[in-house]
Chains A and B, each alone.
Chain A
Amino acid sequence: MTGIESPWIAVPVALLLVAGGLLTLVGALGLVRLRNFQARMHGASMGSTLGLGCLVVACVIVGSAMAHRLALHALLVTVFVVITSPATATLLMRASLYRGRARSASADPEVIER
C-alpha cells in the first residue's frame, strides 16, 4: 500500500541515503585528518551541503511515495540551512583568525596535508 517497496522508489532512496551518509562521514573524518581549525571548517561543510542535499531528496521521494502526492516540506530544511549556516561559518572563521592574529601567528598559507 505504501508504495515504497517498489524498486523504482527503494533503489534511488537507498543510493541517496548511502551517498549522503558517506559524504557526511568523510566530512566528519576531515575534523580528525585536517591540521588546523580553518581547514577543518571545510570538512564540516560537506555534511551541510551535498550530504544534507542527498538526505533531503531521499526524504522528499519517500514522503511523496507514502502520501501519494508531492510532499515538498523537507526541502525547507535546505532553505533554512542555506540562510543560517553561512552566518555561523563566517563568524567562526573570523573568530579563529582574530585569535591567531592575537597570538601573532601569521596568516600565510599553511601545509595542512602531505
Chain B
Amino acid sequence: MSRAVPPVLAVVLVAMWLVLNDTMAPAQVVAAVVLAAALAWWGSKLRPLRPRLHRPWLAPALLATVFVDIVRSNIAVGRIILGLVRDRDIRSGLLEIPLDLTDPHGLAVLATIITSTPGTVWVGLSPDRRRLTLHVLDLRDEAAWIRTIKERYERPLIGIFEP
C-alpha cells in the first residue's frame, strides 16, 4: 500500500507543472505526468505518513471562510496601524487555546490558516499537542478569538482529516 504513488499529490503536481508552464501541449502533459508520478513516489518515501481525507467536501466552505476572514482581518489590522481605533488601548500578546484536533496534517493546515490571517501568528504547540499558543495583535476579547479558531477553523478541519 505504501509503495503506491500518492494520487492526490501526483494530480496536484501535474496541475502545478502545466499551470507553471502555461501550456496544454501533449509533450508537456507527458512530462508532467512522468515527473509528478516520480516526485510523488520519492516524496512519499521522505514522509511515509499519509494524510487521510475523510470528508474532503468540507474544504470549499472552509476555504471561503478563510478568504472572508483574511479580508476582514486585513481591514482590522490596517485600522489599528492607521490609528483609527481611538476608543481603547490595543493590547497585543500571547493566547493559549485548548485543541481537540490531533491529526498532524490538520494541524499543519490550521497553522497555515492562522498565520495567513493578519493579526494572528502561530507560535507553537505544547509538547503533548493539546494546547496551541498564538500571538494576537488585538487581544480585546480572548473568548471571541478562541471561539473563532475552534468553530470556524478547527471544527471543519477535524471533519476533513479525522474519522
Contacts and interface: CB of A to CB of B under 8 A. Distances in A.
Nearest to B114: A86
Question: Which 6 A-B pairs give the minimum distances between C-beta atoms?
Answer: A109-B93, A86-B115, A30-B81, A50-B74, A42-B137, A109-B91
Interface centre among A51, A71, A73 (most CB of B within 10 A): A73
Given A26-B82, A113-B80, A38 B118 contact: no
A102 interface: no
Place the interface of chain B in its size category.
35 or more
A33 B90 CA distance: 13
Nearest to B112: A86
A35 to B, nearest CB: 9
Contact of B139 (A85, A86, A109): A109
B78 A26 contact: yes
Interface in B36-93: 70-71, 74, 77-78, 80-83, 85, 89-93
B91 to A, nearest CB: 4
Interface of B: 16, 19-22, 70-71, 74, 77-78, 80-83, 85, 89-94, 111-112, 115-124, 135, 137, 139
A4 interface: no
Interface residues of A, number: 42
A29 B79 CA distance: 11
A69 B21 CA distance: 14
A90 B111 contact: yes
B115 A75 contact: no
Given A26-B78, A29-B81, A94-B124, A110 B112 contact: no
Contact of A30 (B77, B89, B112): B77
A26 B81 contact: yes
B92 A110 contact: yes
B83 A33 contact: yes
A46 interface: yes
Interface string A85-114: 110011001100100000000011111111
A31 to B, nearest CB: 9
B16 A39 contact: no
B135 to A, nearest CB: 5
